Amino acid sequence: MNRLFRTASPFHLSPFWKLVSYIVLGFWAFIVIFPLYWLLVTSFKQPVDVASGPKFVPFIDYQPSMHAYQELLIDNGIEYVGRPYVTTVTIAITSALAALLIGAGAAYALTRFEYRPKPGLILAFIGCVALVAIIISLGAPWPLALIIGIVIFFLIAQGIGRRFKGTMSNDDIAFWLISQRILPPVTVIIPIYILFQQLGMLDTPQALIITYCAANLPIVIWFMRDYFQSLPIELEESAFIDGANRLQVMRRIILPLSAPGLIATFLIVLVFSWNEYVMALFLSGSQTHTMPLLISGQNATRGPQWWNISVLVLLVVIPLIFMAIALERYIAKGLLVGAVKG
């Protein structure tokens, strides 16, 4: 009996605790996988089967049917499901790539260069932007308002800019960037809606791509900044000594070494854009309907159509699952590098 509790090393579990850990992990795996199984079996149910109570086992509890798949994918065809699906894929991938490109560059700059911006100049810039917006709202041409704002900011920076005290460090900049994700989307959706309305960009893919890219930039910068800090700077210094320029160092050293972090960050940002609902609800219309909006629209007058919802959710979730499985090695490495620093 004592053998069940003995272990040869403190880093190895005894047979008893191995059994306990397998039971706990199996139970947790069941909790995680069961919702997907429930979606799958519900997608093959008739409305009467859904309304008559829980049925878990096909061919025993109920007779499977392709009713929901027939209605959504064949009867309605490309117009009903195909267009929102293509729109979702296009907007999510484009915005995620744009956020990754801009955010990775910003994160690299925050780890390799020292910035000392003055809060006074930042506030002056914000004030000039607000002034430009007010002038445009009063009916002035936007090129004239922009020139006025630039001239005023230049005069402030050259005149009293040197008297501003205090500077911000790179850590302050990084914290300010990630703090932009603290605000819920509802607090900024009205200004964003008015902005794109004035620009005539409502119900266009460009509006959602720009919004998703801006919303996900802080996440990309935060993740990639931590990853770039884990890369030895001595590699870059050696390349500079050998005559390489900054672009060559980025292409031949930084990008290959940071591939796991880039892939992991891209997938996380892609999921955020893929599942986003609030921004799409306000900024999209009939031409840019996304899958989250289509799923929420299945709540008809007769109640939620769970069979249709299950089919649509599977169409949204399955590509992400396969992508995560295919990139699992890179994702694990990208998320863990930098977790322990000496």
Is 162 part of a structural domain of the chain?
no
pLDDT level of residue 2 (50, 70, 90 thresholds): low
Would you state the pLDDT for residue 335? 57
The first and second tokens of residue 248, run together, are 């060559």
Residues 214-224 pLDDT 10s: 999 999 998 88
pLDDT at residue 340 tops 50? no
Find the helix or strand (DSSP H, E) in which 102 lies: helix 83-112
We report the CATH number of the domain holding residue 301 as: 1.10.3720.10
Question: Around Cβ 152, how many Cβ atoms within 10 Å?
Answer: 15
* 52 Cβ contact partners less than 8 Å away, ≥ 6 residues apart: none
120-141 burial, b if ≥16 CB within 10 A, otherwise e? bbeebeeebeeebeebbeeeee
Whether the predicted model's global pTM rises above the 0.75 cut = yes
Residues 153-187 pLDDT 10s: 888 888 776 777 777 788 888 888 888 778 788 88
Would you state the pLDDT for residue 342? 42
pLDDT level of residue 11 (50, 70, 90 thresholds): low
Cα–Cα dist 269/283, whole Å: 19
Residue with the larger pLDDT of the pair 333 and 171: 171
Is 289 part of a structural domain of the chain?
yes
Total domains in the chain come to 1
- In the predicted model, what is the mean pLDDT of residues 273-301? 88
Residues 315-330 pLDDT 10s: 999 998 888 888 777 7
Is 18 part of a structural domain of the chain?
no
Cα–Cα dist 222/269, whole Å: 12
Cα–Cα dist 260/257, whole Å: 8
Is 45 part of a structural domain of the chain?
no
Is 159 part of a structural domain of the chain?
no
Q: Is the dihedral of CA 115, 120, 123, 127 positive or negative?
A: negative
Is 230 part of a structural domain of the chain?
yes
Residue with the larger pLDDT of the pair 171 and 274: 274
pLDDT at residue 71 tops 50? yes
Is 78 part of a structural domain of the chain?
yes
Cα–Cα dist 71/143, whole Å: 52
pLDDT at residue 261 tops 70? yes
Is 111 part of a structural domain of the chain?
yes
The first and second tokens of residue 322, run together, are 């396969």
Q: Which residue segment(s) compose the domain that 99 sits in? A: 67-116+168-314+323-336
- In the predicted model, what is the mean pLDDT of residues 256-272? 89
CA atoms within 13 A of residue 175's CA, in its CB half-sphere: 5
Would you state the pLDDT for residue 341? 47
